[in-house]
Amino acid sequence: MRDTFEAAESTADGQRLSEKMLDKTLADSFPTSDPPSTIPNPGDRIASQDPMADTRFVGMHPGSWAAVSIDSGEVVATGKSREQAELIARRRGHGKFSLLQVPSKTDGTVAA
């Protein structure tokens, strides 16, 4: 009888240990997501503006491309193609930028 009691107690201890381990795993996994970023989404600012009213494009040829700094919002490079604007921006030491196509006066679209 004593062996049966010890076996039952051993099983109960094993279950308690297992539950404690699962509780710890669960507790260690929280928070389950990254904290919110303190950096605003620059895409919202750029997308919400009227591209035809964007003064950053003044003097640029319609259809050309501009690399716009995510940190400051200023144009850091331009090019005839998206690749050229990106290459020039990277050569100038910029790593965080968005590439925008200068809108034509007729269609008013901006490609991102």
pLDDT tens-place string over residues 6-22: 555 667 787 888 888 77
- Give the pLDDT of residue 45: 53
- Give the pLDDT of residue 84: 96
Q: Evaluate if residue 99 carries a pLDDT over 90.
A: yes
Q: Evaluate if residue 107 carries a pLDDT over 50.
A: no
Q: How far apart are CA 52 and CA 19, in angstroms?
A: 62
Whether the model pTM is above 0.95 = no
Amino acid identity for residue 105 in this structure: K
Find the angle CA(86)-CA(89)-CA(36) to the nearest 5 degrees. 85
Task: Report domain extents, the chain.
Answer: 42-101
Rounded to an integer, the average pLDDT of 70-88 is: 93
